[in-house]
Amino acid sequence: MWPRKIQKRWPRLTDYGRDLAFSLISVGIFAVISSLIFFVFRDQTSIYGGSMGSRGWGYLVFTFVWMLALHDTYFYWIHRLMHTRVLYRHVHLVHHHSTNPSPWTAYAFHPVEAVLEVGILPLIAFTLPVHWAAVMYFFIFQIAYNVYGHLGFELYPRGFHKHWLGRWINTSVAHNQHHGRFTGNYGLYFLFWDRVMGTLRADYDAAYEGATGAAAPVTATK
């Protein structure tokens, strides 16, 4: 039956508690930095107000897509950095304690990683002019997609990973593999960088097919 659990087992109560605690810390860090950008340094940023269509609706759509592409690139390389020996052991391991992720895992970061994660906001704010509402919609989308990535269930349909577009889209299965196997599948929204850099796991297709009905769900063991 679709959708079904990617891994057979469920997270433990201790996993939920740990992830919730670190998520609250991360949210606090995000709130502080976001407040600085939007209220203290707003006049120095490229974020503008007024009518959403003041620069044309095409430009508004372009900036949203640009933010997705920029964030996906930023996330991929920061994520690769987090998997270097020292940073993984002392920082990123907090996130990887959850080998069987849940929605609460999405923002369960070490404070250092939380600062790096929210670093995308000043990068956006001090480059291309963007409407404040577009930034808000972008962050709503990224929260939703990050939760989906850690959901533990695959919502895309069977065969999506083979579609000409779907093969470039990151899925919950792909990120679940990353948590269960610890390597590969570093992207956020897309699989572009994983495919280009050769970091997409060779068993991704089989795992996706298993999660959507073709075989048994994956496990967290190698």
Residue 74 maps to a domain: yes
pLDDT in single tens digits along all 222 residues of the chain: 567 789 988 989 999 999 999 999 999 999 999 999 999 998 999 999 998 888 999 999 999 999 999 999 999 999 999 999 999 999 999 999 999 999 999 999 999 999 999 999 999 999 999 999 999 999 999 999 999 999 999 999 999 999 999 999 999 999 999 999 999 999 999 999 999 999 999 999 999 999 998 654 455 444
pLDDT for position 217: 47
- Domain assignment present for residue 2? The answer is no
Structural domains counted in the chain: 1
Q: What is the pLDDT of residue 1?
A: 54
User: Does 39 fall in a domain?
Assistant: yes
Q: Is residue 8, in this structure, part of any structural domain at all?
A: no
**Domain assignment present for 133:** yes
Element of type H or E holding 48: strand 47-48
- How many helices (H) and strands (E) the chain has is answered by 10, 2
* 3-class SS string, 93-154: HHHHCCCCCCHHHHHCCCHHHHHHHHCHHHHHHCCCCEEHHHHHHHHHHHHHHHHHHCCCEC
218 in a domain, yes or no? no
Report the pLDDT value the prediction gives residue 4, as an integer from 0 to 100.
78
Residue 221 maps to a domain: no
Q: Phi/psi at 49 (nearest 5 deg)?
A: -115, -150
Domain range spanning residue 44? 13-211
CA distance 114 to 149: 17
The rounded distance, in Å, linking the Cα atoms of 192 and 189 is: 9
Contact indicator for 170, 187 with CB cutoff of 8 Å? yes
CA distances from 97 to 17, 41, 105 (A): 12, 36, 9
How much is the pLDDT for 133?
Answer: 94
Q: What is the pLDDT of residue 215?
A: 53
Q: Is residue 222 assigned to a domain? A: no
Q: Which residues contact 93 (CB under 8 A, 6 or more apart)?
A: 110
Per-residue pLDDT, 2: 60
